[in-house]
Amino acid sequence: MKAFPAVLMATTLFVAPALAEPLELEKDELTFGFIKLTDMAPLAVAYERGYFLDEGLFVTLEAQANWKVLLDGVIDGTLDGAHMLAGQPLAATIGYGTEAHIVTPFSMDLNGNGITVSDEVWEMMKPAVPQGADGKPQHPISAAALAPVVEQFRSEGKPFNMGMVFPVSTHNYELRYWLAAGGLNPGYYSPGDVSGQIDADVFLSVTPPPQMPATLEAGTINGYCVGEPWNQQAVIKGIGVPVITDYEIWKNNPEKVFGLTADFVEQNPNTTLAITKALIRAAIWLDENDNANRVAAVEILSKPEYVGADADVIDNSMTGTFEYEPGDVRDVPDFNVFFRYYANYPYYSDAVWYLTQMRRWGQIAEAKTDGWYDEIARSVYKPEIYLEAARMLVAEGLADEADFPWTSDGYREPTPAGDVIDGIAFDGRAPNAYIDSLPIGLKGDQTVVGNDIQG
């Protein structure tokens, strides 16, 4: 995709609500990567509505084949930044997988994922799913309803396989969380076995997001956790049923981030601020006036260079509804949140949650102190950059001062038990106590040795 011509840039600047002293950019020609998911929307909107150009940035957006290719591109400089899984900057910084110091000044969204099972599995689950007075399944649906199905597969000598998008993805951790909350073990990682399938009741493996429906239809997997539009695609194709959204697993959970190398940020501080400003404006537009712009956003995202799915598929979730079984359409106004609830502020506590899940399932092989979790969170999440960019937008009349958490110490208030499917509260300031409160998973000094949990 080519940058907009200079004349459009001039026009965009001319109609801006307020004049501002332009930042002296260290680099103004940039290439950003993304995966074809609806939560890349802030990037597409910032491009299509000229917000990047308003900041003097000439941006090219390039879809990437998978999350590893995307991360490698940011590390080697082929990409200047990217729409990333929140776990990627954290994992890279602590040296799990590819090692590199990646930071984020901007969280892209809240919620946005779902867990889908095949039609066959859904029919097997339904007897264990309570029904409401209207005869429809009661939500949220617990993974306890899946347990008899997994046991039947086991008795027939068949593994129960599910897909997720990457080992350090939100999808992996949300799927594991849901399974464990229903009494199913999703398996452990160890330094010598990174399959994540040690002692597993359900076997999880990586499938790129756009390939999820086809892989389900082929019978290679029995279900998956993915972002939109690939859950709704399964409904439209008549091959699967989404059984739960991540909003129902953890209300207003953090999702993707915008990632850059620490070196890029150090060498290009003004450019980083300009990028962040443009993304904040895009997020505001996506959520303003009770999602009034979502239909226009769907038209943007349906373009082949972005998500490339049919507009009616993307519309299913982006406009505040979600379809479970065919015809069972329910209001989920916060399925995709791009700005509300301080969605873009990169909270240290969000980073800590991802790290606790890495430790819970053995990706972090040994116990760490609470101070270590805080230190890693601060090294990766950069709320100070976000707030500096926000302050500039407020001064320019492009954002409302009331919409930003100026006095935050970087930690959200603890997530109440009622907002999480297993009824266990989360306090990012006490990560080890939280880990120890979870019924399935490593605790304390436990480690995975071979196929055994020791300690």
Contact 117, 223 (CB under 8 A): yes
Asked whether residue 417 is assigned to any structural domain, the reply reads no
- What is the CB neighbour count within 10 angstroms for residue 64? 21
- Co-location of 118 and 213 in the same domain: yes
For the segment 61-113, what is each residue's pLDDT rounded down to a tens digit? 999 999 999 999 999 999 999 999 999 999 999 999 999 999 999 999 999 99
Q: Among 253, 273, 295, give the residue marking a domain's end.
A: 253
375-396 per-position pLDDT tens digit: 999 999 999 999 999 999 999 9
Specify the CATH number for the domain of residue 203.
Answer: 3.40.190.10
Number of helical H runs and strand E runs in the chain:
19, 18
Is there a domain that residue 70 lies in?
A: yes
**93 and 119, same structural domain?**
no
Same domain, 123 and 237: yes
Q: Are residues 233 and 281 in the same domain?
A: no
One domain for residues 303 and 359? yes
Other CB atoms within 10 A of residue 68 CB: 16
* pLDDT for the residue 230: 94
Domain boundary residue among 188, 219, 253? 253
55 with 117, same domain? no
Is 166 found in the same domain as 106?
A: no
pTM: 0.94
What 8-state DSSP symbol labels residue 81?
E
CA atoms of 271 and 278, how far apart (whole Å)? 11
Instruction: Answer whether 138's CB lies under 8 Å from 217's CB.
Output: no
Residues 41, 99: one domain?
A: yes
- 299 part of a folded domain: yes
425-434 pLDDT, tens digit each: 999 999 999 9
Inter-axis angle of helices 269-291 and 383-395, to 10 degrees? 70
Looking at the fold, whether 41 and 10 belong to one and the same domain comes out as yes
- Give the CA-trace dihedral at 339, 317, 160, 212, to 10 degrees: -90
How many domains is the chain built from? 2
Range of the domain at 390: 6-111+254-403
**Is the same domain home to 99 and 188?**
no
Residue 337's DSSP bridge partners are 110
pLDDT digits 0-9 by tens, 281-324: 999 999 999 999 999 999 999 999 999 999 999 998 999 899 99
Shared-domain flag, residues 63 and 99: yes
Does the residue 437 lie in any domain?
no
In a domain, 439, yes or no: no
Average pLDDT over residues 359-363: 98
Task: Compute CA 437 distance to the chain's CA centroid, rounded to the nearest angstrom.
Answer: 24
Q: Last residue of some domain: 218, 253, 288?
A: 253
Contact 131, 239 (CB under 8 A): no
Q: Are residues 246 and 127 in the same domain?
A: yes
Asked whether residue 293 is domain-assigned, the answer is yes
Q: What is the pLDDT of residues 217-254, one digit of tens each?
A: 999 999 999 999 999 999 999 999 999 999 999 999 99
Q: Is residue 409 part of a domain?
A: no
Position 158 in a domain? yes
